[in-house]
Amino acid sequence: MSSRVKELETSRTVSQATSRGTLFVVSSPSGGGKGTIIRHVLQVVAVENLSYSVSYTTRAPRQGEVDGREYFFVNRETFEEMVAAGEFLEWACVHGNLYGTAKNQVIEETNAGSDIILEVDVQGAASVRQLLMDSVSIFILPPSYEVLKQRLIARGTDSPEELAVRLRNAPDELKQYSAFDYVIINDEVERASAQLASIIYAARARCMRQESLVLEVIEKFKSNSIIES
Ligand code: 5GP
């Protein structure tokens, strides 16, 4: 395990006492709607103190995608150099392209007390769960194969071959759902987004997460009760 991951792990352990941010790992098959739900939570529900991890990929940008916004688009050589340098928290080959979560942004945001959403495939989610036991993982389940197919076609971003690969891989990805902490059935964006926001709020209300704040309140409570008695 690299020292950077150790640093992150240590910070996650300490996070219980110092309100460091939590990692929310969101996965679904391609076209499952996780991107739409995450955008809705960030922009419409506008959950405060929440950021989005921009991954690195060797996939070519789609029309309208901006480098540094949807992804950092890099060639395979650069990606492999980053892997060798231990710059990724996790990385995986998905549908023939490489995708990875850089440690830097995750460390900066969580150390600053911000929660962060990672949008990764099921392999990436498994890696993060193994590395960081207190991350929260959420699987977004499309309501049916037909809806998934329709969404991928309507998105219009994939060639027929890419579309076929993504549809072929979907059943295996669905099988992984039970390894996640939560499952959201994405039948309706607003409802599904509200559910994701609720999961984030619930994680923030955990005793462990609020320990330092709670101890402060209890200390004050005790000293005031002594003064009164
Ligand atoms: P797309 O090419 O449709 O943008 O993404 C394909 C798949 O790669 C999606 O399931 C997406 O969540 C996943 N993905 C995106 N970024 C990462 C990452 O950093 N790590 C991993 N493991 N998967 C990622």
What is the CA(210)–ligand 1 centre distance, in A?
31
Q: Is the Cβ atom of 137 under 6 angstroms away from ligand 1?
A: no
What is the CA(28)–ligand 1 centre distance, in A?
9
Q: Is the Cβ atom of 94 under 6 angstroms away from ligand 1?
A: yes
Question: Which class is domain 3-53+114-228?
Answer: alpha beta
What is the CA(15)–ligand 1 centre distance, in A?
27
What is the CA(196)–ligand 1 centre distance, in A?
19
Least confident of 60-69, 71-80, 143-152, 153-162: 153-162
**Per-residue pLDDT averaged across 65-74, rounded?**
97
Q: Is the Cβ atom of 31 under 6 angstroms away from ligand 1?
A: no
> Domain locations in the chain?
3-53+114-228
Least confident of 15-24, 102-111, 155-164, 207-216: 15-24
The residue nearest atom 5 of ligand 1, judged by CA position, is 30
Q: Is the Cβ atom of 92 under 6 angstroms away from ligand 1?
A: yes
Q: What is the pLDDT of residue 15?
A: 40
pLDDT at 28 over 80: yes
State which ligand 1 atom lies nearest to the alpha carbon of 127.
22
What is the CA(107)–ligand 1 centre distance, in A?
20
State which ligand 1 atom lies nearest to the alpha carbon of 157.
3
What is the CA(10)–ligand 1 centre distance, in A?
26
pLDDT at 216 over 80: yes
pTM: 0.89
**Per-residue pLDDT averaged across 83-103, rounded?**
97
Least confident of 7-21, 68-82, 115-129: 7-21
SS3 letters across the chain:
CCHHHHHHHHHHHHHHHHCCCCEEEEECCCCCCHHHHHHHHHHCCCCCCEEECCEEECCCCCCCCCECCCEEECCHHHHHHHHHCCCEEEEEEECCEEEEEEHHHHHHHHHCCCEEEEECCHHHHHHHHHHCCCCEEEEEECCCHHHHHHHHHHHCCCCHHHHHHHHHHHHHHHHHHHHCCEEEECCCHHHHHHHHHHHHHHHHCCCHHHHHHHHHHHHHHHHHHHHHC
The residue nearest atom 12 of ligand 1, judged by CA position, is 120
